Structure 1
Amino acid sequence: MTSEPQTMTRGSVGEESALTIRNPRDGSTVGTLESVGREQVALAVQLARTVHPEWAATAPAERAAMVRAAAGALRAGAGTLAELNSSETGRPREEALAGIEAGASTLEQCAELGPLHRGHSLRGSALASDYTVTEPRGVAVLLTPWNDPVAVAAGLLGAALVTGNTVLHKPSERCPHVGQLLGELLSPCFPAGVLTTLTGGPEVGSMLTSEDGVDVFAHVGSSATGARIARAAVLTGAHVLRENGGNDPLLIDDDVDPAWAAEQAAIGAFSNTGQICTAVERIYVVDAIADEFCAALVTEARRRNESGTFAPLVDRRLRDAVHAQVQAAVAEGANPAEGGVIPDGPGAYYPATVLLNCSDRMDIMTEETFGPVAPVVRVGSFDEGLKLAAAGKYGLAANVLTASITHAQKAVAALPAGTVKVNAVFGGAPGGSAQPRGESGQGFGYGPELLDEFCRVKVVHIEAPGKSAGS
């Protein structure tokens, strides 16, 4: 197998073939890429299936060396990749660079874990041997998002490739130039057909989910899309791994510093302009400190809005959706204490917004927003807030600020989320992993457990040949 880039960007006549991306800062055109068509999708799946046996038979250490080389290639192209990321999604260049470095580090972690990924010995007869071995699932389709396009893609790519799967990567249609360049950087590190990038819109994802030759789908994106993938996989038998939408709560106890709590809330709600899967999307604060907290949160939002550096949303389509939720909340009685108004001028800017006097019945409190909005509900007690925080259809992550170990333990037990964070809205140890719940997805994301998701387990039993009773 020889190495060459596998990036497909041509569409078929009659299909939605053009993706034109505009810079969300000023509306200028970043560029236009054509989408692959159904024939190209089918050929890519066929190629991935054809080369899979040889790739699966490659020694884990050899696969790991290629993944490590991919990390180096990613770092070498980081500058250009960060500029594209900033142009397509509006993310500040420094943050884009940090995401790329995180992606390279994740590839290196996968390279370390790959050769160590192993089965288990089983206790049986003293004269028999029982153990398990892991095998790659086969062809993996990775559907990745735009909000942190390199870091998220790198985690899935590293885990899938190091465990011996061939990969078809379909990056988000909101950052196709980033996805294409990522493929051009990484694909030459692997044999031909092992990693192929397919550029296109949602129709390309639909084509992939209807292909019988795919063994696993990994999707990071909206819950609606994730649900469609899961339903399609029932017919093809593919394994599904998905990290989807969230509506993460933040519960603030009355025994913490309200100014510090406001800082944490602002970090959780406004980082990356609120475009993070695990962003703080609904806030419950105990009445005793609510006045001070709300005043400090408004100050935090206003400081960002007056800084001149608050980044735009990815496009005006998302901005319209975020603003519609804010307007609906205001119509139902919420008070926009800061923000909540679309600014004049080009681009897709939206201010850091604080909504006070919210109720738990508002859509802003029950649905994912994916924008820089901090809606606040006052509660009479920690237990009342915990009950509200534990409600809802999502289960990605949850946050608690409290000085009480009793309240912290109670929250950990009661919150139905894959991750519960106490006294820090972001952060975690290297190698951490979690299982989303409800409409937030299924399967482990990141960490050593992610390698397990891309493998099947085979149980082996061996014993010495016996002799016939009449021998």
Structure 2
Amino acid sequence: MRDRWMLAGGRWSGGTGGTTFTVRDPATGDPVGEVPVCAPGDVEAAVAAAARAAPGWAATAAADRGAALHAAARAVEERADELAALVTAEMGKPAADARGGVEAGAGTLRQYAELGPLHGGRTLQGGRAAADFMVREPRGVVVVITPWNDPVAIACGLVGAAAVTGNTVVHKPSERTPHTGALLAELLAGALPDGVLNLVSGDGATGEALAGHPGVDVVAHVGSTRAGRRVAVSAARTGAKALLENGGADPLIVDEGVDPSWAAAQAATGCFANAGQICTSVERVYVHEAVAGPFLDALAARARGLRMGPGSDPSTELGPLVDERHRARVHEQVEKAVADGARVLAGGTIPGGPGSFYPATVLAGCADDMAVMAEETFGPVAPVRAVASFDEALEAARRSRYGLAATVLTGDLARAHRAWRALPVGTVKVNAVFGGAPGGAAEPRGASGAGFGFGPELLDEMTAVKVVHLLADPG
């Protein structure tokens, strides 16, 4: 069992909390380890350590902060196999996908290491006797609360952006992937001065205590909408800035005229990658009735053909869900949809044996008021509704309290342009469910959160603008 769960001011400990929780391998149900819940005093110590380190780190040259992030990226790359294995053991992600997330995290650290020293303000045109300019300054202590579905990449992005702009950080990883979070913190902190990165372990209550701490200036949270709202309320009480990427119910529109087999491959990737446990997974599908039949046949065939198994097996294409509690929630949505008239074309049943596996599931005949369409399922489920026109699909896709992302598959350029303008989401992808140029950033809308969570714009979120009017002659 690991005994280094709390980091404050460069000193590791097991925390002072008296309670623990067990993390289990979702493929086998076997325990990965016992993890302590940090006590309120541990939270106080971590925030205090970050506050003490803040002035010195803010005064550190931007180039030196960038160099520290490059060193952190090297440390992550050197232990990439170990980090990826922990991701697979704790949340079930297939090994290659887990390794890809670690590599993405190291790449993000390098991106911010280069962008940080270039991030600055601008001069203003004032009177000739004065100097007028805008500068960006670190906000202070940043709390980073990260999810379990991509624990390394997301943490590297938020911690990296906060640190390179001169902030200090207290990180609380998800209670479902605490071993991954602790090792990552060890690697990142080794490249930073004491107190710049601090760590606490715990559950939702620990996260809320951090978010509501009066010594915190920014709270960056990635996770469910319900948890994000609690974080936002806690931050509002102190005036801390909240950066939130919450849940989504991302639509996929399949237009008439597209190759239904190709469209089915795109839908399968969007719905089933990482067992549907991606923030921008496809959560609802609107397919034109002209191609609905062959599209559904091809999608169901792809779902049935996926090799389900433990993430440690290189041949696995569909790993387990993170735990049995989450699987029960996913299956409950599927069962309710079937009871309300949806038809199961593939999957839809809980397999026997150990682990929290759930098959890739395709549901036809879905309606927008079903929870499987209206809410975030976060599992390998493709709920499909046939529509009579592109306009009908677009109007249905627009109706959601979420606003994270959307995908449109169409060969009609005019419709593509109309769609990206009409969809009230942060990211619109045309003819590809995933992908995009490096550095692209988006702002989620509605129940999906607020603020940039990645890209160069995240550096703006982590800093505050100060306007200076400097008159050289006092009189």
Deviation at 1:464, TM superposition (A): 3.3
The 2-side partners of 1:144 and 1:9 are apart by 20
Range with greater deviation from structure 2 (313-322 or 228-237): 228-237
Secondary structure, aligned partner of 1:276? coil
Amino acid across the alignment from 2:230? R
| Aligned residue number for residue 4 of structure 2 | none
| Aligned residue number for residue 241 of structure 2 | 239
Amino acid across the alignment from 2:468? V
The 2-side partners of 1:400 and 1:393 are apart by 19
| Aligned residue number for residue 434 of structure 2 | 426
Give per-residue Cα distances to partners, 1:154-186, cap 9 Å, x unaligned: 000110000000000000000111111111111
| Aligned residue number for residue 281 of structure 1 | 283
The 2-side partners of 1:51 and 1:291 are apart by 61
Secondary structure, aligned partner of 1:403? coil
Give per-residue Cα distances to partners, 1:257-279, cap 9 Å, x unaligned: 11100000000000000000000
Deviation at 1:100, TM superposition (A): 0.5
The 1-side partners of 2:453 and 2:41 are apart by 31
| Aligned residue number for residue 346 of structure 2 | 338
Amino acid across the alignment from 1:425? V
Secondary structure, aligned partner of 2:345? strand
- Which of the residues 177, 180, 186 maps onto 2:179? 177
- Which of the residues 383, 391, 395 maps onto 2:391? 383
Q: 2:9 touches 2:49 (CA, 8 Å); kept in 1?
A: no
- Which of the residues 186, 191, 201 maps onto 2:188? 186
Q: 1:144 touches 1:153 (CA, 8 Å); kept in 2?
A: yes
Q: What does residue range 35-434 of structure 1 map to in structure 2 within 5 Å?
A: 35-305=37-307, 309-434=317-442
Deviation at 1:418, TM superposition (A): 0.3
- Which of the residues 458, 463, 472 maps onto 1:450? 458
Deviation at 1:12, TM superposition (A): 2.2
- Which of the residues 6, 10, 17 maps onto 1:12? 17
The 1-side partners of 2:10 and 2:127 are apart by 50
The 1-side partners of 2:283 and 2:208 are apart by 29
Deviation at 1:92, TM superposition (A): 1.4
Q: 1:63 touches 1:162 (CA, 8 Å); kept in 2?
A: yes
The 2-side partners of 1:219 and 1:6 are apart by 25
TM-score (norm 1): 0.96
**Gapped regions of structure 1 (runs ≥ 5):** none
The 1-side partners of 2:111 and 2:130 are apart by 35
The 1-side partners of 2:235 and 2:142 are apart by 12
Deviation at 1:310, TM superposition (A): 1.9
Q: 1:7 touches 1:180 (CA, 8 Å); kept in 2?
A: no
Q: CA RMSD in A?
A: 1.3
Amino acid across the alignment from 2:473? P
Range with greater deviation from structure 2 (75-84 or 119-128): 119-128
Secondary structure, aligned partner of 1:189? coil
Range with greater deviation from structure 2 (88-97 or 329-338): 88-97
Q: 1:9 touches 1:199 (CA, 8 Å); kept in 2?
A: no
**Gapped regions of structure 2 (runs ≥ 5):** 1-7, 309-314
The 2-side partners of 1:118 and 1:173 are apart by 36
Q: 1:326 touches 1:364 (CA, 8 Å); kept in 2?
A: yes
Name the % identity.
55
The 2-side partners of 1:180 and 1:261 are apart by 40
TM-score (norm 2): 0.95
Q: 1:9 touches 1:35 (CA, 8 Å); kept in 2?
A: no
Give per-residue Cα distances to partners, 1:347-401, cap 9 Å, x unaligned: 0000000000111111111000000000000000000010000111000001100
Give per-residue Cα distances to partners, 1:169-218, cap 9 Å, x unaligned: 00000011111111111111111111011111112112112210000000
Secondary structure, aligned partner of 2:160? helix
Amino acid across the alignment from 1:368? E
